[in-house]
């Protein structure tokens, strides 16, 4: 073969290899699987687009792992992961390490990892603000889950493809029926201001709780800061979680939960006596969202996509609701057992999440100052 032809063939081969590397995907027919190079996508938060079959194959044959960082109770979270693993054999799904599942601690752990080695693939906490912030810093992966179409627009990322509500937590009142008769129980938020509930009879979560901020934000919008100043004058007691409030109600330490997550009340009723009951205030029910989203630098982005799809699907939402008792915002999923549909509650306005996030630090400081002053 003439030397000139050899040179041409070598150049053509080099060009072909370069093109394959640039595309970032090579098929190996003999191996019977797909190999995908996951590369940094800059600020767009996007990965190479694969078909559904390719996503499944890469997730189950190459990545084979998923780390889910969540503030949901550990027992129920593990059951959801077990169902996901059964649907996609080959993927080992793991929860965030650490004993605490509080939203504050999960976010703190994630923020520490974002400064160095990131283990988290998927995040799910009761705080819309962190998702809006992560979207703004370019730390979320843009993935248009096919399940987003089943979520009303106000319950998903307004810019599209970065997060959707995995559960909605309706915030209610609760009381101990052995201490208060039904005819005397508060039926509205304004009822908490009656003099007979003064001096430590009302329980609230502290300002680090995502649900407490949601309640403060929506009721402040409804009644103004004066409502909270008057509530502070009642000298409420503060707890770190709804579970702690329920235990205090059970002990008779307090008589009313002035802020209670509906799903926590549901979980308590499954495990204990039914002496503690909830009240859905007729003047409005604050709704706190717990979104789900994928981290842009996730080491297992395809497994993460499969998990987000599963978590938001009708199948996943019905299972999650049955396990946890929280509302689903999907219209094809009914309410938790024994609870009114969301459509029958006077849900306080949601959807302007940018304002909700922008005021968070200011209003949390205001909340702290309001109740700190009441104890001086």
What is the DSSP code string of 20-67? HHHHTEEEETTTTEEEE-----GGG-------HHHHHHHIIIII-EEE
Q: 79 and 185, same structural domain?
A: no
Burial of 151 (0-12, 13-18, 19+ CB in 10 A): buried
Q: Is residue 19 part of a domain?
A: no
The answer to pTM > 0.85 is: no
Residue 234 lies in a domain: yes
Same domain for 274 and 174, yes or no, is yes
CATH of the domain at 102: 3.40.190.10
Beta bridge partners of 65: 92
- Residuewise pLDDT in 10s, the chain (376 residues): 554 444 444 444 444 434 334 334 333 333 333 333 333 334 444 556 889 999 999 999 999 999 999 988 888 999 999 999 999 999 999 999 875 677 878 988 999 999 999 999 999 998 888 998 899 999 999 999 999 999 998 898 877 789 999 999 899 999 999 999 989 999 999 999 999 999 999 999 876 676 788 899 999 999 999 999 999 999 999 998 888 999 999 999 999 999 998 888 887 877 777 789 899 999 999 988 899 999 999 999 999 999 999 999 999 999 999 998 889 999 899 998 878 888 888 888 766 777 888 888 888 889 888 887 543 3
pLDDT of residue 48: 65
226: Cβ contacts below 8 Å, ≥ 6 apart? none
Shared-domain flag, residues 51 and 134: yes
Query: What is the number of structural domains in the chain?
Result: 2
10 in a structural domain: no
179 assigned to some structural domain = yes
**276 and 134 in one domain?**
no
The set of residues, in sequence order, having a beta carbon less than 8 Å from that of 204 and lying 6+ positions away, is 212, 236, 237, 238, 239, 245, 258, 259
Element (H, E) at 211: helix 210-223
Shared domain check, 117 and 156 = yes
- Which residues span the domain enclosing 206? 169-287+354-374
Q: What pLDDT does 332 receive?
A: 93
The verdict on 232 and 265 lying in the same domain is yes
The verdict on 237 and 295 lying in the same domain is: no
Q: Within 13 A of 293's CA, how many CA atoms are on the CB side?
A: 34
Residue 54 lies in a domain: yes
d(CA 131, CA 290): 10
Burial group, residue 335, by CB count within 10 angstroms (0-12, 13-18, 19+)? middle
Sorted by sequence, the CB contacts under 8 Å of residue 338 that are 6+ apart come out as: 266
**Is 174 within 8 Å of 250 (Cβ atoms)?**
no
Taken in order 109, 113, 119, 120, the sign of the CA dihedral is positive
100 and 246 together in one domain: no
Do residue 301 and residue 193 come from a single domain? no
Asked if residue 247 is part of any domain, the answer here is yes
* Domain-embedded: residue 17: no
Shared domain for 131 and 67, answered yes or no, is yes
Same domain, 174 and 160: no
d(CA 372, CA 1): 90
Question: Is 29 inside a domain boundary?
Answer: no
């Amino acid at each position: 073969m003439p030397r000139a032809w050899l040179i041409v063939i070598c150049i053509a081969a080099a060009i072909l290899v370069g093109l394959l590397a640039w595309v970032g995907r090579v098929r190996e027919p003999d191996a019977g699987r797909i190999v995908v190079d996951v590369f940094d996508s800059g600020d767009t938060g996007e990965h190479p687009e694969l078909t559904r079959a390719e996503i499944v194959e890469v997730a189950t044959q190459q990545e084979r792992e998923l780390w889910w960082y969540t503030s949901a109770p550990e027992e129920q979270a593990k059951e959801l992961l077990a169902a996901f693993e059964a649907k996609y054999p080959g993927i080992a799904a793991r929860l965030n390490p650490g004993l605490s599942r509080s939203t504050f601690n999960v976010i703190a752990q994630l923020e520490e990892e974002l400064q160095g080695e990131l283990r988290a693939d998927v995040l799910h906490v009761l705080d819309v603000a962190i998702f809006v912030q992560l979207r703004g810093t370019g730390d979320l992966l843009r993935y248009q889950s096919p399940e987003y179409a089943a979520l009303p627009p106000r319950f998903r990322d307004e810019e599209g493809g970065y997060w959707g509500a995995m559960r909605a937590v309706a915030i209610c009142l609760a009381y101990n029926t052995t201490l208060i008769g039904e005819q005397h129980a508060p039926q509205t938020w304004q009822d908490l201001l009656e003099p007979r509930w003064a001096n430590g009879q009302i329980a609230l979560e502290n300002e680090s709780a995502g649900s407490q901020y949601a309640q403060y934000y929506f009721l402040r919008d409804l009644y103004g800061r004066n409502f909270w100043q008057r509530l502070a004058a009642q000298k409420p007691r503060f707890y770190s979680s709804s579970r702690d409030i329920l235990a205090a109600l059970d002990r008779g330490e307090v008589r009313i939960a002035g802020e209670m997550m509906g799903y926590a009340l549901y979980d308590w009723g499954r495990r204990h006596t039914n002496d503690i009951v909830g009240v859905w205030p007729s003047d409005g029910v604050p709704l706190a969202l717990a979104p789900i989203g994928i981290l842009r630098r996730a080491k297992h982005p395809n497994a993460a996509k499969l998990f987000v799809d599963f978590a938001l699907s009708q199948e996943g939402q019905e299972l999650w609701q049955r396990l946890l008792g929280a509302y689903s915002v999907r219209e094809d999923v009914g309410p938790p057992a024994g609870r009114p549909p969301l459509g029958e509650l006077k849900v306080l306005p949601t959807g302007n999440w940018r304002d909700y996030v922008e005021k968070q630090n200011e209003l949390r400081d205001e909340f702290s100052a309001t109740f700190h002053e009441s104890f001086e």
